[in-house]
Amino acid sequence: MVRVQNLTRADALSAVRNPLAFIAERWTPTSRTVQRAALAALVMAVVIVVTGGAVRLTGSGLGCPTWPKCTDDSLTATSAMGFHGAIEFGNRMLTYVLCAAVGWAIIAARSQKPWRRGLTRLGWAQFWIVMGNAVLGGIVVLVGLNPYTVAAHFLLSTALITVAALMWQRTREGDAAPRPLVGKSVQQLVWFLVVASVLLIAVGTVVTGAGPHAGDSSKVERIPVGWETVAKLHAVLAWIVVTLTFALWFVLKAVDAPQGPLRRTRDLFLILLSQGVIGYVQYFTDLPEALVALHMLGSCLVWIGVLRVLLALRERPQEPLTDLPAAATTASLTSA
């Protein structure tokens, strides 16, 4: 039988005052647990993008016609609202799953010994982005799926993926000063790749905002440009990103770079090829919903691939652990 220690009044006050420090005093997760928590937050950040796309592609964007309630009289979707109400409300509920995943990442990072304050901050950054995007999602509904707010909603989700991917990377490396693995010319080439990828994603949101999938069966405002023209610009930017990735791989081979950057660049190239095939097929088949959803998933994977290439250009080795005095350890645990 396991003996459960009764909490004293001081313990209870400590738990209320600083619950993260209270948990950290009583739990030390393994490095693998922290990595899995960060990965779970990243996966959920991608899932929420894909399910948000499903809401739009099924015409369920106004399935819940108001916010924060689903209707003026009901917090949840009702049977009378049918399929569209269930889809929209289900996507809203997934936000709580995302919050749980981010919360687990924050708790795991805060409880790790020694405490890495930078990891905890990355977790909190994700939390506040999620909160901001939830409010923005409500505004999207209240303004009747205005395409500019929809685009901003997606771009903020991309920012969440960026922070989540960075946190996942940082859980697998130390806190020592980063040491570059390639020269400045290669780093500059990768930054060109990053900028081109950002433009690619941004123009993709314009294609979405001008295209036929408005997000609801009713008449919804669209961005007043020809979506086919913007789609061609999007394709040109995609080819620029592919070319830069291909060139980067050859440059890395020429300078005999470490295997890490080479493998990440190869992975990105394969993702880009798959995304390009999907993009052209959906263009010539009048944007079928299933392929558009797959293309949105591919967009997330492309951006994660670009970030992984960028982060692979340096290494941060683990710092050797030293025994800390008991007083210093206690102070570290109880500080916020």
Mean pLDDT of 119-131: 96
Please state, in angstroms and rounded to a whole number, the distance separating the CA atoms of residues 284 and 102.
39
Residue 10 has pLDDT above 50, yes or no: yes
Please state, in angstroms and rounded to a whole number, the distance separating the CA atoms of residues 254 and 167.
31
Q: What is the dihedral of CA 187, 189, 190, 194, to 10 degrees?
A: 130
Q: Where is pLDDT greater, at 127 or 225? A: 127
Residue 153 has pLDDT above 70, yes or no: yes
Question: How would residue 328 be classed by pLDDT, with cut points 50, 70 and 90?
Answer: very low
Q: Where is pLDDT greater, at 79 or 102? A: 102
Identify whether 178 is preceded by a cis peptide bond (ω within 30 of 0): no
Mean pLDDT of 272-288: 89
> Out of 58-62, 139-143, 213-217, 229-233, which region has the weakest mean confidence (pLDDT)?
213-217
Q: What is the pLDDT of residue 326?
A: 39
Q: What is the pLDDT of residue 335?
A: 40
Q: What is the pLDDT of residue 246?
A: 95
Residue 106 has pLDDT above 60, yes or no: yes
Residue 7 has pLDDT above 80, yes or no: no
Length of the chain: 336
* Per-residue model confidence as pLDDT tens digits over 281-324: 988 888 888 888 899 999 999 999 999 999 999 998 876 544 34
Residue 334 has pLDDT above 80, yes or no: no
* Per-residue model confidence as pLDDT tens digits over 42-86: 999 999 999 998 898 888 888 998 998 998 888 888 888 888 899
Q: From start to end of the chain, where are the E strands?
A: 179-180, 314-315
Q: What is the pLDDT of residue 319?
A: 61
Strand pairing partners for 216?
Answer: 60
Mean pLDDT of 132-150: 93
Please state, in angstroms and rounded to a whole number, the distance separating the CA atoms of residues 44 and 98.
6
Q: Where is pLDDT greater, at 239 or 10? A: 239
Please state, in angstroms and rounded to a whole number, the distance separating the CA atoms of residues 225 and 151.
15
Mean pLDDT of 25-46: 95
pTM of the model as a whole: 0.88
Contact (CB, 8 A) for 154 and 205? yes
